[in-house]
Amino acid sequence: MRLTVLATAAAVAVCGAATAQEATDATRAANDALLDYLPFDDQTDFENATRGKIAELDGTAVSGADGTVIYDYSQFDFLTGDAPDTANPSLWRQSALNAVHGLFEVVPDEIYQFRGYDLAVMSFIRGETGWIVVDPLTANETAAAGMALLRENVEDLPVTGVIFTHSHVDHFGGVKGVITPEEIAERNVPIIAPEGFFEEAVSENLIAGNTMSRRASYMYGNLIGKGPDGTLGSGLGTTTAAGTVTIVEPTEIISETPTELAVDGIGMEFLFTPGAEAPAELMFWIPEFRALMQAEEINHTLHNLYTLRGAKVRSGDKFAKYINDVINRYGDEVEVSFGSHHWPTWGNEEIVTFWKGQRDLYRYIHDETLRLANRGQTMLEIAEELTLPDSLAQTFSNRGYYGSVSHNAKAQYQLYFGWFSGNPSELNELPPVEEGKKFVEYAGGADAVIEKAQADFDAGNYRWVATALNHVVFAEPDNQAARNLLADALTQLGYQAESGPWRNFYLSGAKELRDGVVEATTPDTGSADVVRGLPLDIYLDYLAVRLNHPEAAGREIALNFTMPDVDQQFSLTVTNGVMNYTIGDQAETVDATVTMDRAVLDSINLGQTTLIDAISDGSVTVDGDQAKVEEFVGLLDTFGFWFNIVTP
């Protein structure tokens, strides 16, 4: 997922198996307790996940034109039978449901879904003359395979509409696998998306992209093997396809609720729902079929109010209000509810119960966090105390397979109060290495900490073992005994985790403690399509972040840039250690004027060339002091991807 432009994505590559360990008695006891608490005898989800299956792809994988495996759908075949001791049984159940794959009929002869071949789900709605495609997955290759399977087993019709429900890459990246830009133009095919979709889709993770992507390699289990002692998937789905990511610009923008449109003769009522699960998102209602496309505002899991890879905090209040609005609008009529992940729900009573549970789930976490905060409790105290009532917690669709009650409560605290608890002792704490050294000193040395931690490990107190040994590892990063015991504690925490991302984080951290940082393949959404769509202001914001500010202090640089092929120009200055820019104007007094096509800027952004090389080959010209241009380029920092996370 790493180039200059990045977007939300899940892992694909299996980059090394986690060290196999047995579950301890404490872990088995924790997992057994959940078996007793949740209604595992209820098979409704399995019935719904397999309902209406028509066909599945031949073989075991979707491959690219060159034979490269894009998605291997046999990689989760191990998810059968009862959960092993090394897996939380609730997460195992969810992962088995996510691994169900094929083409499914949702509404007879009208709505179909292609599930289990990517992180997300692609839906097809029969229009008067063709197929309306909803959320065409992450990659062209998997989207094309789904389109072909539909045409082969249902009817060979053209694509007559595309709907992007929101701005995350697993819901738009495969669009050119189902329709070409030429077809869109020739047949005036509507491409429908929420307001802000295109900008958010191409820029959401750029500014903080390097760190976000490195953390995503933990969150989605890129670095560990798939299996009973490795990753089970993400909880939201399996994993994403490692194929070609594309994008097209919308032709119809949804910015109000409700917005009524007829798409290839099918009447739809769109609801604009930004700022909950995604910065730009929509849901839509199809009156003819009494069906709601719920996007990711409603799911068979508790979603993230904060993603562990790192992103802006989301509002549980907005989640709850959007779902409540859906209940009020369509609760008396709905018969089918289908989404961007997981399997559909059928039947009015079942759906309304499902919707109300999801609404109340987010409302409870949001409001109870604020209640406890207003009583003076801190973020950590709230996350430890806040538990859902049984009426919510004993429903599988409300379990924390992707988000968790703990980190979502922390997110709501952060949304309102930020990182500071109000305790002045936490106002200016020591950084991890210095804090670790003092902790070890106060505890009587690393050996004393390890001895005590071993006793706590044997007693099943893995959370405290992780806290204590983390200090030792940061104080003495070469202390392999501390690293190994910390890895053991993280492994057991992973085996107990009900959240897919929590499990992946724990097991990824354990692997790197044992083996060190091992560079491996990670998903890449920095495709040419995405880069070409990058707004100029976002690109310049990214350059400003890359500026090495201490090195730039005391420098004075002024440059004009002109891009003839797109008729754009901008100026930038470096003063006081920061970069500022103005788009659309040229400064009167500058050190140099740089002329280049936007296409050349895109090549630089993709890492296909450098500004200095482009000057050398004549695709960039400089009028003025070229040394100042080179000085500016020399001040731009590069970000190494494989930085340490669990060690200094």
CATH number reported for the structural domain that contains residue 188 in this entry: 3.60.15.30
Q: pLDDT value at position 15?
A: 38
Q: Is residue 510 part of a domain?
A: no
Give the model confidence (pLDDT) of 291-326 as tens digits. 999 999 999 999 999 999 988 899 999 999 999 999
Q: pLDDT value at position 219?
A: 92
pLDDT surpasses 70 at 14: no
pLDDT surpasses 90 at 583: yes
pLDDT surpasses 70 at 208: yes
Structure tokens at 207: 């500014």
Which pLDDT band holds residue 601 (cuts at 50, 70, 90)? Answer: confident
Q: Report the DSSP beta bridge partners of residue 284.
A: 270, 293
Give the model confidence (pLDDT) of 61-106 as tens digits. 999 999 999 999 999 999 999 999 999 999 999 999 999 999 999 9
Instruction: Determine the Cα–Cα distance for residues 282 and 193; give it in Å rounded to an integer.
Output: 7
Three-state SS across 569-637?
EEEEEEECCEEEEEECCCCCCCCEEEEECHHHHHHHHCCCCCHHHHHHCCCEEEEECHHHHHHHHHCEC
pLDDT surpasses 50 at 396: yes
Give the structural domain span for 140. Answer: 25-393
Q: Is residue 461 part of a domain?
A: no
Which pLDDT band holds residue 258 (cuts at 50, 70, 90)? Answer: very high
Instruction: Determine the Cα–Cα distance for residues 265 and 280; give it in Å rounded to an integer.
Output: 25
Instruction: Determine the Cα–Cα distance for residues 99 and 164; give it in Å rounded to an integer.
Output: 23
Q: Is residue 520 part of a domain?
A: no
* End-of-domain residue from the set 393, 409, 434: 393
Give the model confidence (pLDDT) of 193-206 as tens digits. 999 998 888 777 67
The overall average pLDDT reported for the chain is: 93
Q: Is residue 80 part of a domain?
A: yes
> Is residue 336 a contact partner of residue 346, using CB atoms and an 8 Å limit?
yes
* H/E stretch holding 260: strand 259-263
Helix (H, G, I), strand (E, B) or coil at 348: helix
**CB neighbours of 117 closer than 8 A, spacing ≥ 6?**
57, 62, 71, 73, 101, 137, 142, 145, 146, 241
Q: pLDDT value at position 520?
A: 75
Tally the domains of the chain: 2
Q: Is residue 162 part of a domain?
A: yes
pLDDT surpasses 50 at 397: yes
> Is residue 103 a contact partner of residue 117, using CB atoms and an 8 Å limit?
no
Q: Kindly state the percentage of the chain with pLDDT values over 90.
A: 85
Q: pLDDT value at position 523?
A: 61
Q: Is residue 274 part of a domain?
A: yes
Which pLDDT band holds residue 626 (cuts at 50, 70, 90)? Answer: very high
* End-of-domain residue from the set 366, 393, 420: 393
* End-of-domain residue from the set 375, 393, 411: 393
Task: Give the CATH number for residue 569.
Answer: 3.30.1050.10
Q: Is residue 464 part of a domain?
A: no
pLDDT surpasses 90 at 519: no
pLDDT surpasses 50 at 2: no
Q: pLDDT value at position 602?
A: 85
Q: Is residue 457 part of a domain?
A: no
pTM: 0.93
**Nearest in space to 266 (alpha carbons), one of 149, 161, 410, 152:** 161
Q: pLDDT value at position 17?
A: 39
